[in-house]
Amino acid sequence: MITIKSPYEIECMRCAGKVAGQALAAAGAMIEPGVTTHDVDMAVRKVIADNGMIPSFLGYGGFPAAACVSINDEVIHGIPGKRVIKEGDLVKIDVGATYKGYHGDTAGTFACGKITPEAEKLITVTRQSFYEGIKFAREGQKLSNISHAIQKYCEDNGFSVVRKFVGHGVGANLHEDPEVPNFGEPGHGPRLRAGMTIAIEPMVNAGTYGVRVLSDGWTVLTLDHALSAHYEHTVLITDGDPVLLTLPE
Ligand code: MG
């Protein structure tokens, strides 16, 4: 069931989202050679705790950290630890914060130092595919119009979109209805209504779209070990332009 959020619920999500956005920005700004993925997680925890909020991911399904940190061919759900980030790495960070029981969920991809032109293009296309998608994040649109726009933009630029993992509704639950795929034909799925809140999150691969889950039960890798990028905001559908709830300010 897709819930329509009340003004109170939207306000809580706006607060949670802003802090999630700030945590992501702080984590992204610290990426440099020598930083560990654990350091990134600690920075995320600090921003969320300093704002009196709760990290949405910590303990979710048993996940052991506040941030997912995924490097190069890791797509999503990387577990922070001792891994040292190196020059040239592509670092995906995914963050959630909870305020009064409501979640904000956001992710981005950050370059460590100098990266290849292809990696630069992958980051740019992944981010832009989100903005292509949200052109259809409007009341009255069919959900898959977003999905189709994301897929088309990525594929037109020579990349592929992950099929196995998708965006999602978000609110009182970190993951709730509807599923928000980054692929598909237009004109399908539920019709969007004002007050729906969805996490739109293109996961884009430089090679094929296939992925597999590592033996740690979490980390998702590209099957061909090509690079992957990720970009996500929590989006509020309104009777006008969509509102990004996870901007840092
Ligand atoms: Mg998400």
CATH number, domain containing residue 187: 3.90.230.10
CA of 201 to the centre of ligand 1 (A): 6
116-135 burial, b if ≥16 CB within 10 A, otherwise e? eeebeebbebbbbbbebbbe
Q: What is the pLDDT of residue 33?
A: 98
User: In this structure, what are the phi and psi dihedrals at residue 64, rounded to the nearest 5 degrees?
Assistant: -90, 10
User: Reduced to 3 states, what is the DSSP secondary structure of residue 197?
Assistant: strand
Question: If pLDDT is split at 50, 70 and 90, which confidence band does 56 have?
Answer: very high
CA of 182 to the centre of ligand 1 (A): 12
In a domain, 41, yes or no: yes
User: In this structure, what are the phi and psi dihedrals at residue 123, rounded to the nearest 5 degrees?
Assistant: -60, -45
In a domain, 42, yes or no: yes
Number of structural domains, the chain?
1
In a domain, 74, yes or no: yes
In a domain, 51, yes or no: yes
In a domain, 2, yes or no: no
| Mean model confidence pLDDT for the chain | 98
Across 46-61, average pLDDT = 98
CA of 175 to the centre of ligand 1 (A): 7
Gap between the Cα atoms of 237 and 107, Å rounded = 19
Question: If pLDDT is split at 50, 70 and 90, which confidence band does 53 have?
Answer: very high
In a domain, 27, yes or no: yes
- Provide, rounded to the nearest whole percent, the portion of the chain with pLDDT above 70: 100
Residues whose Cβ atom is located within 5 A of ion ligand 1: 105, 199, 201
143-169: pLDDT as tens digits? 999 999 999 999 999 999 999 999 999
In a domain, 205, yes or no: yes
In a domain, 228, yes or no: yes
Angle of CA points 213, 224, 166, to nearest 5°: 50
Question: If pLDDT is split at 50, 70 and 90, which confidence band does 49 have?
Answer: very high
Token code pair at residue 25: 């920005």
Query: In the beta sheet, which residues pair with residue 238?
Result: none
CA of 36 to the centre of ligand 1 (A): 23
75-134: pLDDT as tens digits? 999 999 999 999 999 999 999 999 999 999 999 999 999 999 999 999 999 999 999 999
- The residue written with tokens 């990028």 in the block is 229
Helices and strands per DSSP (H, E), number in the chain: 4, 15
230-245: pLDDT as tens digits? 999 999 999 999 999 9
CA of 85 to the centre of ligand 1 (A): 23
Domain span at residue 25? Answer: 7-244
CB contact at 8 A, 235 and 245: yes
Gap between the Cα atoms of 201 and 70, Å rounded = 15
- Provide, rounded to the nearest whole percent, the portion of the chain with pLDDT above 90: 100
CA of 94 to the centre of ligand 1 (A): 8
